[in-house]
Chain A
Amino acid sequence: MDIVEELLKGNRLALSRAITAIENEYDDAVEIMKKLYPHTGHAFVLGITGPPGAGKSTLTDKLAKAYRAQGKTVGIIAIDPTSPFTGGAILGDRIRMNGLTMDEGVFIRSMGTRGSLGGLSHKTADAIKAMDAFGKDVIFVETVGVGQSEVDIVKAADTTMVVLIPGMGDDIQAIKAGILEIGDVFTINKADHDGADKLVRELNMMLDLDAHSEQMTQNSTEKALADQFHHLNVAKHAAGAAWRPPIQKVIASQNEGVAETIENIEKHFKYISENGILQQRRTERSKNEMLDVLHNNIGTYITRRLADTGELEEYVGQIKRRETDPYTVVADIMRDMLKE
């Protein structure tokens, strides 16, 4: 099967095989991506993140159904953690989306975080492109947790939705852990549970504070430098922090608040489209993609060369015996290689 040709024709197995090639880093993955790239750039990408147990999959299921009702096709990438001890993973998000399986307009793919986090965000971005090239109108990327890896993954999204639930005990802790900055749209799921209003109040307060502090530091050169590679904040600044993330209470299991959530998502997309932020984000993303590939390829190239010639082992030995140090070694390698 010619994966690219079949994928572009709408063959679902070809799409599936393309994602496998990306995930498993098969040799043909790069060729596939090269050929698919011209066909990408059409889909709207929504990142969905939040702590485990927030009901993201159930919400994804409902959002997907709502988009389907609008006649849009949907791709879903659901990421679950890989066990660092065994390398195995339970990918259990599909179970909340069983109702979508037989809808031909929906394609769901579960992914484990596997080894390196950097690798994952790169692979997720490529999987999104494969679905984009396939012709999906809307692509969801659902991640677990609120760590750095999630931040990296949602960088591939046009709009990022953060899902929280009341009664997690450490609501504030979770919010502080970095998701405040990445959320374009906030959803408080299980809003019929105790503490929903309190969570909304606290979140509102923090978002107001955040907007305020950003304006305060807007002109600081230090902050600007730090933000250079952080397209999300760059985007916010460019718009003069005019987008205040809305908060929507939802009961996903009962389909309550889903329409309003979609409205928020669409409002945000309209906003970033009209203010040039979308273009800026996508430019930034293209740059990151290129740099990622560059770093990745150079790193792999150099590592492989060193390994093949046996220099790697030799250098490691020297460093271990304290005859030299990693900094000097790398400087030497760079000098030699770049000369070529």
Chain B
Amino acid sequence: MSNEKIQAGLDKYNASVEKVVSRFPERPNLPEQRLYTPLDIKDTTYDEIGFPGMYPYTRGVQPTMYRGRFWTMRMYAGFSTAAESNKRYRYLIESGATGLSCAFDLPTQIGYDSDDSIAEGEVGKVGVAIDSLADMEILFDQIDLGKVSTSMTINAPASVLLAMYIAVAEKQGVAADQLKGTIQNDILKEYAARGTYIFPPRPSMRLITNIFEYCSKNVPKWNTISISGYHIREAGSTASQEIAFTIADGIAYCEAAIKAGLHIDDFAGRLSFFWNAHNNVLEEVAKFRASRRVWAKVMKERFHAEKPKSMMLRVHTQTAGSMLTAQQPNNNIVRVALQTAAAVMGGTQSLHTNSRDEALALPTEESVMIALRTQQIVACESGLADVIDPLAGSYYVEALTNKIEAEAWEYINKIDEIGGAVAAIEKGYIQKEIQDSAYKWQMDVESGAKTIVGVNKFQIEEEPPKGLLKVDASVGVAQCERLAAMKAKRDNAAVKASLTDLKAACQDENENLMPHILNAVRVYATLGEICGVMREVFGEYEAHVNL
């Protein structure tokens, strides 16, 4: 049918709809456009959509996608002590999880030892407490680091945790070049959305480029960064903002690495991303597709990358934690299933599914099992993983992909004008945009413009949930005792020497810090001691808040 004919048909349809709507009004708060036709994508050439495994990767980064092998089912876990978490990891591997994902407690994430006064009440709460190599050895006890791929949600002190991982592998007899996994290592989104920063931007960017450089030579299979939109979305951004701000962060990392003398194709293939799978299924699918297209263009046109791998946006996904409700928590199972479907139709490379009880507490083993089974059901039973990019060609999804891409470019250009992501964060621009969206969301929920089942509609009287997982306060005490015992046993002269050496290295901007950190962790210098030295030299970041 020619466009003219379609337009004529559409006009006829619209006229008839107007009559219907005057008698039976539509629901309020709907997207303006009710129907999509070929006219909405008439300017989209097939070059923009393309083929899987080929530029611009709109349809996915691998040629066969899930027809070869499913995405990595990677469950984020970790709590209390290294020994407890080790038990959970081994349980997950036995249950069919194909990758590990370590959650660290907040003192670890901010570079404090468990016996620091600031850590009081936090030890082992949202993840496992790691003070030194000794804890890391227990965490991966009987887990073959040559086989498993491990993702670590660690940012400001990522260099230290990576060094500990390498050191544990050494003890297992696994060479660094065999290690597979990811460190999050994305400090910019910490400033903008997640809040577990330590150092100011400049030394933080140096640490990140040091890791890029070190790994490109010594740990080549390691994903050196997971540039994360997940937390930006959790903080309240829209889908377009999520990918725009994250890609802007990605641009900043590339620029920093290039400035440090690296070639784009030497490190870009190890960059990975981290998206949120939110509630609106089709919008999320479009977001995944748009993000791959934007990144491919950025890498090719802006950075003149030549290797295809450099242009591929590979992504880990987590279902939206902020969309879980404390009310009627079993409903969350359904939400997570839909979010999983979105991530899979969007073409993710790995996925963590949240557990139903996470708006209330840490997940129980039973809840984690349901979450993992959700992925397995989508993979094996739904058929969604059987054909590549199944929603391509949908007038709506293609138009939405274009729209999200356009909105993302608009933000990226705006951030360029401000002077890049670092400047935009220092000015508070990105934070303000996110906060505005978060506030709008909340007001929409409160006004009823947005319905959340069980929260502002279909509520019921509920009994308080039972059987929630709780981390006992004694965990902190025991961890401090273990730390003290370790300190008494180690070679303190060697620790002191390694820290003095590290300090000198910090002061020399041209020095790569990774080998120095590795030396320190090998002699059991603690995370707090190592970060303490860096705090001394680098100072601490002061947040920009503009409500």
Contacts and interface: CB of A to CB of B under 8 A. Distances in A.
Contacts of A95: 543, 545
Nearest to A90: B547
A273 B427 CA distance: 39
Interface residues of A, number: 7
B446 interface: no
B546 interface: yes
A92 B542 contact: no
Contacts of B427: 53
Contacts of B546: 92
A253 interface: yes
Nearest to A52: B546
Interface string B21-35: 000000000000000
Contacts of A114: none
A96 interface: yes
A90 B432 CA distance: 14
A58 interface: yes
B423 to A, nearest CB: 9
Contacts of B545: 92, 95
B238 to A, nearest CB: 23
Contacts of A53: 427
Interface in A91-132: 92, 95-96
Interface in B503-547: 542-543, 545-547
B341 to A, nearest CB: 40
Contacts of A58: 542
Contacts of A92: 545-547
A53 B543 CA distance: 13
Main secondary structure of the interface of B (DSSP, over half): loop
Chain A CB count within 10 A is highest, among B200, B427, B542, for: B542
B542 A96 contact: yes
Main secondary structure of the interface of A (DSSP, over half): helix
Interface string B411-429: 0000000000000000100
Interface residues of B, number: 7
A96 B543 CA distance: 8
B282 to A, nearest CB: 37
B542 to A, nearest CB: 7
A90 B439 CA distance: 15
A253 B427 CA distance: 13
A90 B547 CA distance: 7
A92 B432 CA distance: 14
Nearest to B428: A53
A185 B546 CA distance: 27
B542 A253 contact: yes
Contacts of B547: 90, 92
Contacts of B200: 253
A58 B543 CA distance: 11
Interface in A202-254: 253
A221 B542 CA distance: 52
Contacts of A96: 542
Interface string B174-210: 0000000000000000000000000010000000000
B200 to A, nearest CB: 8
A253 B202 CA distance: 13
A53 B428 CA distance: 10
Interface string B205-219: 000000000000000
Nearest to A253: B542
Contacts of B542: 58, 96, 253
A309 to B, nearest CB: 46
Interface string A289-303: 000000000000000
Nearest to B539: A254
Contacts of B543: 95
Nearest to A190: B426
A157 to B, nearest CB: 26
A319 B294 CA distance: 67
A9 to B, nearest CB: 31
Nearest to B546: A92
Interface in A170-215: none
A58 B546 CA distance: 14
Closest 10 CB pairs of A and B: A90-B547, A95-B545, A92-B545, A92-B547, A96-B542, A253-B542, A95-B543, A58-B542, A53-B427, A92-B546
Given A92-B545, A95-B545, 7 more contacts: A53-B427, A58-B542, A90-B547, A92-B546, A92-B547, A96-B542, A253-B200
11 contacts: A53-B427, A58-B542, A90-B547, A92-B545, A92-B546, A92-B547, A95-B543, A95-B545, A96-B542, A253-B200, A253-B542
Interface of A: 53, 58, 90, 92, 95-96, 253
